[in-house]
A and B are shown apart, each in its own frame.
Chain A
Amino acid sequence: MNPRRNPTEPMRSDPIGSDLREMFRAGAPAEPSEAEWATVLEGVRRGLERPHVTATPVARRWRLGALMAAALAAAAVVALALAIPYFRTAPLEITDEHADVVQFPVTDTEDVEILSVDTADSGAIVVGDLPLQKPIVFMEPGDVALRSLQRDAEGDFPDVHMHPEGEQSPMIWAPLSVKP
């Protein structure tokens, strides 16, 4: 039995062994002297009193923050102004950068046989087929019927593509507009 073991811990076979534990107890490092401990504690106190980051005066921090916020806002406005024409003319094209990558299966289902799994590790292993074998299609041409359209509260009219070319799904999106 391991005398150091937490009594609330479930009983298990001791993987260390009492002989090895005894050997480590017998060969334990000598305890530092009280003077050495006092030096270490003093170092801890000094370390805790030392500021960990260079303090910036509050007023200077406020000005710095305001400047950064203004710069970020200006950058956002410029980026938005550049992006609006693009968004107005065409929907954002979503591409899969890995579409052309050929995937080589490492193993097939028949290649793997699980002999045993530790209970504690079982949650990390998923056994079975992948739940998704292909991209999810929320709707296809023909699934959506267009009944009416009207302008929104801002007076904008949505772009509607009910029969896009190819196999793409129908899309409806509101145009971006800049509000004062």
Chain B
Amino acid sequence: MAAVTLSSAPELSDDQLLARFARGDRDALDELFCRYRSAAYRVAYRLLGREADALDAVQESFIKALTHIHNFQGRSSFKTWLLRVVSNASLDLGRQRGRREALCLDAVVSTEPEAGPLVTFDRPTQGLEREELRDLLQEALAALPEAQRRTFVLHVEGELNYREVAEVLGISIGTVMSRLFYARQKLRAYLGRRVER
């Protein structure tokens, strides 16, 4: 199987690639895939928590996004459309596979801090290997309400700005800001249990 390599040719716009894809150009599909696969994967991973599931969600999302491409054209960017599909597919997949963690932040906060590796907000990687930090962040994200988690992940991992997140979720920019604010508070409260003081 041939490896997928990133193209170094002059960049075509997403619209140009989509037009080529509509004419059956397989290279256009490859370029779109390479362009957005990482963002899609990060969003899916943060919502699902497992690499294999995230890759499944990415594959399913590219198929859905390109199959129903007529639903987005002219109204948003392809990336926004794709990440909308990714977040929906990830949540559907998570529910189907029954692995959505029912972790309640309030319960966690009310308990004593668990023993374990400590992180600091000044030097977040101190005292933790990357995998440990990644798992800790997954735990913290799982403690957020679904709406806040989606908003946070789309903004931080999907690299969507507030307006784009608002488009994806069908909410106002003010609501996006509000959700991000509360998500940050809860994440800091959760992670603060591990903070070295």
Contacts and interface: CB of A to CB of B under 8 A. Distances in A.
Given A28-B42, A38-B2, A41-B4, A23 B66 contact: no
Contacts of A30: 51, 130
A148 B151 CA distance: 67
Contacts, number: 125
B35 interface: no
Contacts of A36: 55
Interface string A32-52: 101111111111110110001
A134 interface: no
Interface stretch (A14-22, A69-77, A88-96, A103-111): A14-22
Interface residues of A, number: 41
Contact of A37 (B4, B45, B124, B173): B4
A118 interface: yes
A27 interface: yes
A35 B39 CA distance: 18
B184 A29 contact: no
Query: Which of A20, A21, A27, A124 lies at the interface centre, i.e. has the most chain B CB atoms within 10 A of its CB?
Result: A27
Interface of B: 1-5, 26, 29-30, 33, 37-38, 41-42, 45-46, 51, 54-55, 58-60, 62-63, 66-67, 119, 121-122, 124-125, 128, 130, 133-134, 136-137, 152, 155-157, 159, 161-164, 172-175, 177-178, 180-181, 184, 187-188, 191
Interface of A: 4-6, 9, 12, 15-17, 19-24, 26-32, 34-45, 47-48, 52, 118-121, 124
